[in-house]
Amino acid sequence: MSDKTIFKRIIDREIPADIVYEDDLCLAFRDVAPQAPTHVLVIPKQEIPALADAQDGDAPLLGHLLDTVRRLAVQLGLDGGYRVVINSGPDAGQSVDHLHLHLLAGRPLRWPPG
């Protein structure tokens, strides 16, 4: 059995995903268990287990991920607003050990979450 995360298997095209964006640094695809009408995951192709594991040298990549979310929001017409969520670690609800950003929109998103 492979020790690759499901996200690495999506990057490697071993399992299908509804990909909405890809470049050299990241991949974005629709969540298979959406928590809102629009629920897209943006993942770096570089394997970083969680935000807490990022290094100082990863700052340009982290900025690129946020900029990708911003551009996707425009592309998807999320004019009413959207939420970006990063869960880091099990206590925060991170279920896949590969850094990922949730782009959520299309319904009122209450505060506080969870």
Token duo for residue 76: 């998807």
Looking up tokens 């991170």, which residue turns up?
A: 94
Cα radius of gyration rounded to whole Å, the chain:
14
How far is Cα 31 from Cα 45, in angstroms, rounded to an integer?
Answer: 17
100 tagged catalytic: yes
Contact by Cβ (8 Å): 72, 30: no
Out of 39, 98, 100, 102, which one is annotated catalytic? 100
43, 99 Cβ separation under 8 angstroms = yes
Tokens 């996200």 found at = 7
- Token duo for residue 29: 């695809």
Catalytic residues: 100
